[in-house]
Amino acid sequence: MNSRPRLLAFHGWRTSATILQQQLQLSSLDITVGDLVDITYLNGPHAAKGPPTPDVARFFSPPFVEFWDAVTDPATGVVTYAGAEESLAAVETELRAAAAVGQPVSALLGFSQGAALAALVLALQERGLRFQDLPPLRCAVLISGSLVRDPAWAAVYNMNSAKSASAGDGSAEVGGSSSTITITSSCGGAASETTASALPETSHARHTPGAGGLLRRPTCHFIGAADPMRSRSEQLASRYQEPIVLHHQQGHVVPRLPADAKEQLRTFLQQHLHDCGGTWQGAR
């Protein structure tokens, strides 16, 4: 049986699992992490409600699918995610199937809409609102991610626990400091400090435990300087107690990372998937 941890990956808006696999190949991220994890790609359960972005249409082939369709009420401006429940159900089915055969999913990866979904799944399990009877998801890699905007789900980022949340209340302000105080690596909640210079170009803000209901699960965020969704990605990172942030100069893409950032990603996965009770060691 393969001893590498299993990572479940979610594609972007109006693309597909096949396209995300190709994007990771083009960026060489599949090679970067290939000896550390086994990646499974999940297709969105819904056919795309419209055309993909011009770049996707130009370089990739259909069919195109999505995890939800963001619908804005013209009268109130409220955004609802049509189809999100079906996507969460599809994720749960995949997590249960993996656990049933003794190869549970240990981590998530997502790009764009898929990163928003991955962050939501991680938060729902941590808050004890869903997936709590499944093996714990140890960490997530979130590429060009964003906070969910549907009020039905948005409150999960702004509460201290499931008991303190008002169902459907997404009105709490997104907060959290973005300043870097110290660099930490944590394993199961136990943190050890190292020097900030050990991880160049990385933001890893350490906040007061429980402050503002910040999430504790380890996350690694890719944020592009030219990404039009940059501010939304920064908001997402701010909801975690100790986020690792890898900055790049590209836009809304799965980026080609420089060597030092690739090493930081490997270190992140090694710490949270292998050093946390795992015995398998990937070859360099």
CATH code, domain carrying 162: 3.40.50.1820
Query: Which of 151-155, 158-162, 247-251 bottoms out in mean pLDDT, i.e. has the lowest?
Result: 158-162
Would 284 be classed as within a structural domain?
A: no
Would 263 be classed as within a structural domain?
A: yes
For the chain, how are helix, strand and coil distributed in percent, rounded to 5? 35, 20, 45
Q: What is the pLDDT of residues 78-100, one digit of tens each?
A: 999 999 999 999 999 999 999 99
Would 213 be classed as within a structural domain?
A: yes
CA distances from 210 to 176, 178, 206 (A): 11, 16, 11
Could you list the residue range(s) of the whole structural domain that residue 117 is in?
6-274
Backbone φ and ψ of 29, nearest 5°: -65, -30
**Of 23, 197, 228, nearest to 111 (Cα)?**
23
Residue 265 has pLDDT above 70, yes or no: yes
Tell me the residue length of the chain: 284
Q: How far, in Å, CA of 235 to CA of 83, rounded?
A: 24
For the chain, what is the domain count?
1
Would 112 be classed as within a structural domain?
A: yes
Would 280 be classed as within a structural domain?
A: no
pTM above threshold 0.75: yes
Q: What is the pLDDT of residues 9-43, one digit of tens each?
A: 999 999 999 999 999 999 999 999 999 999 999 99
First to last CA, the chain: 21
Peptide bond into 63 cis (omega under 30): yes
Residue 159 has pLDDT above 90, yes or no: no
Average pLDDT, the chain: 82
Q: How far, in Å, CA of 200 to CA of 23, rounded?
A: 25
Q: How far, in Å, CA of 100 to CA of 110, rounded?
A: 23
Q: How far, in Å, CA of 23 to CA of 256, rounded?
A: 10
Would 279 be classed as within a structural domain?
A: no
Q: What is the pLDDT of residues 194-227, one digit of tens each?
A: 222 222 233 333 333 334 589 999 999 999 999 9
**Of 87, 127, 84, 108, nearest to 5 (Cα)?**
108
Would 1 be classed as within a structural domain?
A: no
Q: How far, in Å, CA of 215 to CA of 205, rounded?
A: 12
* Tokens found for residue 142: 């979130």
Q: How far, in Å, CA of 39 to CA of 31, rounded?
A: 11
**Of 62, 80, 63, nearest to 71 (Cα)?**
80
3-class SS at 91?
helix
Would 283 be classed as within a structural domain?
A: no
Residue 212 contacts residue 176 (beta carbons within 8 Å): yes
